[in-house]
């Protein structure tokens, strides 16, 4: 039979990153493409011990759970949120299958097809997929190194009456940028006044390279959680391990309740084995000390890549040194197309994500995102050598 | 701020079952409401050992995985499907967060808001929630004890041009009924001719009380998987444990690929820890022997409830003795409202799901669904006594 495929799904681009990941499954491929954490740092023995404690609690551990998520884990997360000046109760919180699901569910609750969503430019590509699937029109605010430019936000809000503003203010994906505190306050104020809810996506906030600096969330700056503009989502994928697929979102109780209703239909609930493992892990493991170890290691990897790129001194290649997170955002000489470069790079055994993936429209074609957390040492060096070789040949041909 | 909630989500009824579950969390409540498996039967030591083997494979076990699901588990599932005459490759299969997510994703791919979906009458209530969230119009076919009546399906297909037919042909929820082989063939033929895809939902098919009887799936009856009418979904929730939240769906490769794209946006992928645990479990544990144990035990529990109800001999209460699955579907005397009865039953310490939850409209108000798998022995007896007491008082007042 011929199937009638929903046009929204049919026209959806498969994630460029995941398609490249498939390409790069050959052994000799060095990938700077994915947003993969370093496996060497996964606290697998602590996770194993936590799982063992879960099984020791008895067979009830394997029963159906609450849609909202395992209560003791939500309680622990309330404590962790409070340490960052985000004061919430478990009723303000929904556990999700990674923070990706939090984005999807909130968008489902707060938007209708045809609505406008405001984003940074560039922005997280899998959020663009969510917006496309929900039939939203994506409008990008002008941004600089301090975050979204308030005048641009004000103007676009007045013009489009957006249903949501989506942002990654701390170590943005793909740029690695951090919004200034002043900008956070300004955007929060504008959105509060204009009644535009904000989804503050913070998967990387813990992975910071300057211990003394703090980057307060917009969520922590609002007067009240209930009725507040900001919904904040984060995940254990980068701080513990991605396979456990556990994220959370906090915000207004009534909206969280609606999201739980939508989640009932979507999957009843996320893995409670994973949630219980994380609960047991947090009870017996110093996650903050572990995060400090990861951050230190990732900083070293970032500096390693930065120095390799400096050493290779590619004419016209520029990048910002990120203050945290997992990505280095680089610009090729004006006029070079990173998608075309990728096609030249893959046969040489190196991959990255072309910057165009992170734009809903009018992409900046000469940019690319390099992940520095997955590889290290000789592999990073070899990868950068291959990349630079590809760029040189490509430039010579252009 | 005031939030603009999507009308589809805002008007969604929270699942009656889950709301009742919240009510029944008090210790002295005996619940026949949820679809909970018997915890005593969870193979927790085998799951523990499987988890331990997963951690022994190394830290890569905790990395991001494929959206389509863990390949070795998909391979094992292909083998299990082949044993039921469903011949598929891993490209015909997507792993999901329970079969609930399979329903949600397939509906997202094959329907547009405003489309009609055909269902049995009554049908699985959480599928009704999915249809409501996707803005579908639900039209119920006439059914009898052998399944959907072909003439009704033909007539409604001609009238509504539905985008999908959804059914639970083996041990339906809530009725516990099994479609006859003849009916399966007829419905498959009609839908194939009329180009209406079928979602065959089979969470309970393994839990059967007559070893010698087989109930071939409609999926197994079609000529070809690619281009075929039937998408088949099942889950480990009832045969291993619900907490592992692992289901699967099989069908046409191109539609499965579209579902994977939609799943990328929804949650990137389901828990790969759970998927790897199930892979290790299947490698070292006789799941079919375990299913035989569960089935035997559930049959005894069903007979126990059946006999208790017979013994109490409530005037006008009738029910069908199911051939498998987890539910007994009972009719109160005409004119009695099971929702009102529930309100009288809960204070007495017993709960069930009123049948009205299983109808998109024009509910049969005097029916109720009783789960017999979660309780046993004295608790079942006490629960039935309380239920009958509630019915008697309720009848006296009516």
Residue A337 lies in a domain: yes
In this predicted structure, what is the pLDDT of residue A394?
83
* Whether residues B109 and B227 fall in one domain: yes
pLDDT value at residue B131: 97
B165 and B21, same structural domain? no
Rounded average pLDDT over A365-370: 95
Q: What is the DSSP string of B153-197?
A: HHHHHHHH--SEEEE--BS-TTT--B--HHHHHHHHHHHHHTT--
B50 and B75 share one domain: yes
Residues 331 to 360 of B: which have CB under 8 A from any A CB?
Answer: none
Domain boundary among A256, A284, A312: A284
Quick one: DSSP state of residue A284? H
Note whether B251 and B389 are same-domain residues.
Answer: no
Chain B residues 41-70 within an 8 A CB cutoff of chain A: 42, 44-45, 47-48, 51-52, 55, 58-65, 67
Final residue of a structural domain among B284, B311, B346: B284
Q: Is A57 among the domain residues?
A: yes
Is the residue at B158 inside a domain? yes
CB of A264 within 8 Å of a chain B CB? The answer is: yes
Find the residue in A nearest to B58 (Cα).
A44
Cross-chain Cβ contact A55/B65 below 8 Å: no
Q: Do A32 and A119 fall within a single domain?
A: no
Same domain for B305 and B383, yes or no, is yes
Same-domain pairing of B70 and B36:
no
Chain B CB within 8 Å of residue A104 CB: yes
Residues A256, A342 share a domain: no
| pLDDT reported for residue A149 | 97
Q: Are residues A122 and A242 in the same domain?
A: yes
Residue A143's nearest CA partner among A107, A113, A167, A127 is A167
What residues in B contact A18, CB-CB < 8 Å?
67, 264
Touching check for A9 and chain B: CB below 8 Å?
A: yes
Does residue B2 lie within any of the structural domains? no
Decide if B354 contacts B391 (C-beta within 8 A).
no
Choose among B42, B98, B101: nearest Cβ to A59: B42
A2 in contact with B, Cβ within 8 Å: yes
Residues B242 and B192 in one domain: yes
Say yes or no: B203 contacts chain A, CB-CB below 8 A: no
Q: Please identify, among B258, B284, B310, the residue that sits at the C-terminal boundary of a domain.
A: B284
Strand partners, B328: B370
Q: How far is B309 from chain A (nearest CA, A)?
A: 27
Total domains, chain B: 2
Q: Does B271 touch chain A (CB under 8 A)?
A: yes
For chain B, say whether A290 makes contact (Cβ under 8 Å): no
Average pLDDT per block of 10 residues along chain B, 398 residues long = 92 68 71 94 98 98 96 98 98 98 98 96 93 96 95 98 98 95 98 98 97 95 98 98 97 97 96 98 96 98 97 90 96 90 91 92 92 96 96 82
Within-domain flag for A72? yes
CATH of the domain at A335: 3.90.1150.10
* Alpha carbons B33 and B319: distance in angstroms, whole number: 16
Tokens of A310: 């400096």
Predicted confidence band of residue A334 (pLDDT cuts 50, 70, 90): confident
Task: Let me know whether A28 and A60 are in one domain.
Answer: no
Domain that holds residue B127: 44-284
Q: Is A2 domain-assigned? A: no
* Cβ contacts of B133 on chain A, cutoff 8 Å: 108, 262, 265
pLDDT greater than 90 at residue A343 = no
Structure confidence by residue, pLDDT tens digits, B328-386: 999 998 889 999 999 889 889 999 999 999 998 888 899 999 999 999 999 999 999 99
Check residue B16 and give its pLDDT. Answer: 62
CA distance A11 to chain B (A): 10
**B1 within some domain:** no
| Exposure string over B167-189, b if 16+ CB within 10 A, otherwise e | bbbbbbbbbbbbbeeebbebbbe
CA distance A210 to A292: 11
Cβ contact A104–B261 (<8 Å): no
Chain B partners within 8 Å of A51 (Cβ) = 48, 51-52, 55
Residues B198 and B49 in one domain: yes
Average pLDDT over residues A93-113: 97
The CATH number linked to A81 is 3.40.640.10
Partner-chain contact B12 A55, CB within 8 Å: no
Residue B397: its pLDDT value, please?
A: 73
Kindly state the average pLDDT of the residues A238-259: 97
What is the complex's ipTM, to 2 decimals? 0.95
Q: Which residues of B touch A7 (CB under 8 A)?
A: 112
Burial class (CB in 10 A: 0-12, 13-18, 19+), A396: exposed
């Amino acid at each position: 039979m011929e199937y009638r495929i929903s046009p929204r799904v049919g026209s959806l681009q498969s994630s460029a990153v995941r398609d490249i990941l498939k390409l790069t499954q050959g052994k000799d491929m060095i990938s700077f493409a994915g947003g993969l954490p370093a496996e060497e740092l996964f606290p697998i023995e602590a996770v194993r011990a936590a799982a063992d404690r879960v099984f020791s609690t008895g067979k009830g551990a394997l029963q159906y759970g609450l849609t909202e998520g395992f209560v003791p884990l939500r309680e622990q997360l309330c404590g962790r949120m409070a340490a960052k000046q985000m004061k919430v109760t478990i009723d303000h919180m929904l556990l999700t299958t990674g923070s990706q699901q939090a984005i999807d569910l909130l968008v489902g609750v707060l938007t209708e097809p045809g609505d406008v969503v405001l984003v940074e430019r560039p922005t997280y590509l899998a959020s663009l997929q969510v917006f496309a699937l929900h039939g939203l029109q994506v409008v990008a605010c002008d941004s600089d190194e301090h975050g979204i430019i308030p005048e641009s936000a004000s103007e676009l809000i007045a013009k489009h009456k957006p249903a949501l503003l989506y942002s990654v203010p701390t170590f943005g994906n793909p740029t690695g940028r951090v919004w200034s505190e002043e900008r956070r306050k300004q955007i929060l104020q504008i959105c509060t006044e204009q009644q535009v809810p904000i989804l503050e996506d913070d998967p990387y906030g813990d992975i910071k390279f300057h211990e003394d600096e703090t980057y307060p969330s917009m969520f922590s700056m609002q007067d009240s959680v209930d009725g507040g503009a900001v919904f904040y989502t984060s995940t254990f994928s980068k701080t513990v391990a991605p396979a456990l697929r556990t994220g959370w979102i906090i915000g207004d109780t009534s909206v969280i309740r609606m999201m739980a209703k939508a989640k009932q239909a979507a999957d009843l609930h996320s893995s409670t084995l994973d949630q219980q493992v994380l609960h047991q892990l947090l009870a017996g493991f110093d996650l903050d000390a572990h995060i400090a170890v990861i951050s230190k290691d990732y900083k070293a990897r970032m500096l390693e890549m930065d120095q390799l790129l400096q050493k290779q001194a590619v004419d016209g290649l520029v990048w910002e040194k990120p203050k945290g997170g997992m990505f280095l955002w680089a610009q090729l000489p004006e006029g070079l197309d990173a998608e075309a470069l990728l096609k030249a790079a893959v046969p040489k055994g190196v991959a990255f994500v072309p910057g165009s993936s992170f734009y809903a429209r009018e992409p900046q074609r000469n940019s690319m995102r390099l992940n520095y957390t997955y590889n290290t040492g000789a592999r990073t060096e070899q990868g950068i050598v291959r990349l630079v070789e590809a760029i040189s040949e490509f430039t010579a041909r252009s």
